[in-house]
């Protein structure tokens, strides 16, 4: 999923738990669970991995990160949950942390993160390995709808 989708779900989880550690842990677990749903980024990742479309992957991640910052800034700015910024932030941090760890693994390849990366991609590719991936365009539309729908629970 996009960083924006993970972070938005993490914010909703944070607001609904009310406890920093529970928010962080459920946010962290949510990352793996929603990554199971095929979401169109396998081709993007392959292009990065095989160095055939590295710039495309960087452009995608850069735009996704900036959209995530804007969406989260708006959610925090317009939040009806006064005094819950820390717990909402914990949900956001937990929900995006797995991709940060995978990004560190991709960039610097520390052996200590091999197992974590394997676990991440076990969930990430669980369904798409069997039935194939969806089109990225359709996945992004679906995620935009999900992000908007999540606002009802924030």
Binding site for Zn ion (CB under 5 A): 35, 99
Contact 23, 17 (CB under 8 A): yes
At residue 111, φ and ψ (nearest 5 deg) are -60, -30
Q: Closest distance between Zn ion and the C-beta of residue 38, in Å?
A: 13
Quick one: 8 or 84, whose CB is closer to Zn ion? 8
What's the rounded Cα separation, in Å, for the pair 70 and 32?
23
Quick one: 86 or 115, whose CB is closer to Zn ion? 115
Q: Closest distance between Zn ion and the C-beta of residue 126, in Å?
A: 12
Q: Closest distance between Zn ion and the C-beta of residue 59, in Å?
A: 18
Spatial neighbors of 16 by CB under 8 A, at least 6 apart, are 153
Quick one: 19 or 62, whose CB is closer to Zn ion? 62
Q: Closest distance between Zn ion and the C-beta of residue 80, in Å?
A: 29
Angstrom distances, CA of residue 45 to CA of 8, 42, 50, 51: 22, 5, 9, 10
Closest residue (Cβ) to Zn ion? 99
Quick one: 81 or 134, whose CB is closer to Zn ion? 134
């Amino acid at each position: 999923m996009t960083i924006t989708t993970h972070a938005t779900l993490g914010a909703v989880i944070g607001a609904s738990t009310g406890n920093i550690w529970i928010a962080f842990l459920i946010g962290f677990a949510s990352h793996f669970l929603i990554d199971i749903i095929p979401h169109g980024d396998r081709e993007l990742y392959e292009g990065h991995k095989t160095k055939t479309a590295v710039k495309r992957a960087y452009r995608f991640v850069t735009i996704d990160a900036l959209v995530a910052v804007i969406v989260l800034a708006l959610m925090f700015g317009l939040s009806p949950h006064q005094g819950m910024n820390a717990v909402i932030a914990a949900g956001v941090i937990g929900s995006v942390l797995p991709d940060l760890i995978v990004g560190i693994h991709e960039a610097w390849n520390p052996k200590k993160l091999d197992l974590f990366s394997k676990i991440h991609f076990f969930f990430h590719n669980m369904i798409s390995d069997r039935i194939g991936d969806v089109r990225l365009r359709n996945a992004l539309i679906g995620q935009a709808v999900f992000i908007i729908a999540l606002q009802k629970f924030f």
